Amino acid sequence: MGAKVGEPQEGAISEINVTPLVDVMLVLLVVFMIASFAIQSGVAVPLPSAVTAHEQQDSGNHIIISVNGEGDIFVGKEHTSIENIIDVVNAEFRENPARSILIKGDKDLHYGQVREVMDVLAENGMTTLLLATEKIEEGDG
């Protein structure tokens, strides 16, 4: 805090000290920058590419089922097995029934490994599934 030396003060100080405001805003900026990396849903897997992919922002409204390169299955970031996937997905639906299912399969997996997960979901009435891909931009080949 600064103090003025010299003339005696008459009335209230009419100046606003913005330094604390700037400090708080910078701290909030750093917190949101760090938190944005933690918000990424599911387990990171390299996705297959598609020309016809429709870009959609991940706003956290999906139940993310990921299958990594080793064939491990994750619901969100929780590791599960093919036998337990329905129980875990149903628990997610109980939290928010309006969510849809997004499947992220590693691009190096055989189609059958991702299809097995899709079959188990379909056998239990979960037939509306989204598949995550990377969009190929025109001119990328």
Indicate if the alpha-carbon torsion angle 109, 110, 111, 112 is positive or negative. Answer: negative
Position of tokens 């875990």?
88
Q: What value does the CA radius of gyration of the chain take, rounded to a whole number of Å?
A: 25
Cβ contacts of residue 54 below 8 Å, gap of 6+? none
Q: What is the set of domains in the chain, with CATH numbers?
A: 49-135 (3.30.420.270)
Per-residue confidence (pLDDT) for residue 87, from 0 to 100: 92
* pTM of the entire predicted model: 0.63
Per-residue pLDDT of the chain (141 residues; tens, 9 = 90+): 555 566 666 667 677 888 888 899 999 988 887 776 555 567 777 677 767 666 666 666 788 888 988 889 999 888 999 899 999 998 888 888 778 888 888 888 888 888 899 999 989 888 778 888 787 776 655
Instruction: Return the DSSP state at 55.
Output: P
The helix/strand/coil state of 117 is: helix
DSSP H helical ranges for the chain: 19-38, 85-95, 111-123
Report yes or no: 77 and 43 within 8 Å, Cβ to Cβ: yes
